[in-house]
Amino acid sequence: MQVSGGSQSFNAVNQLRILGRWMRLITIPNQSSVAKAFTEFDDNDRMKPSPYYDRIVDVMEELVKFTHLTRDNSSYLVDRYSERKESAQALSKRVNQRSI
């Protein structure tokens, strides 16, 4: 999610999603951007009711759902063949075996 002072801001959100995927983070399908954010808050620093507010609630609900679905499965989700293969080769070399 991103808050922007301008009116066009999805490029920043998309770049953050790309960076997250490169860092092997789970990026949820939903995203939100609040254009001209300075107009979307009241005097008590609460977000005014609006389609932006509804969209942010949707994104947060999805984030919570994905967190619950993936919380205990991170080791399974980030397990990669190429890394297991490299680890096995390194272990074989360390213990002087031809193969495992």
pTM of the model: 0.66
Residue 53 lies in a domain: yes
Residue 45 lies in a domain: yes
Residue 99 lies in a domain: no
State the pLDDT at residue 22: 87
Residue 100 lies in a domain: no
Question: Mind listing the pLDDT tens digit for each residue in 87-97?
Answer: 777 777 778 76
Residue 39 lies in a domain: yes
| Phi, psi (degrees; rounded to nearest 5) at 2 | -140, 145
CATH code for the domain of 58: 3.40.50.360
Question: Mind listing the pLDDT tens digit for each residue in 47-69?
Answer: 999 999 999 999 999 999 999 99
State the pLDDT at residue 46: 95
Q: Give the number of residues written for the chain.
A: 100
Domain count within the chain: 1
Domain that holds residue 60: 2-94
Residue 28 lies in a domain: yes
Q: Do 29 and 63 contact (CB within 8 A), yes or no?
A: no
Q: Which residue has the higher pLDDT, 6 or 81?
A: 81
Average pLDDT over residues 73-96: 79
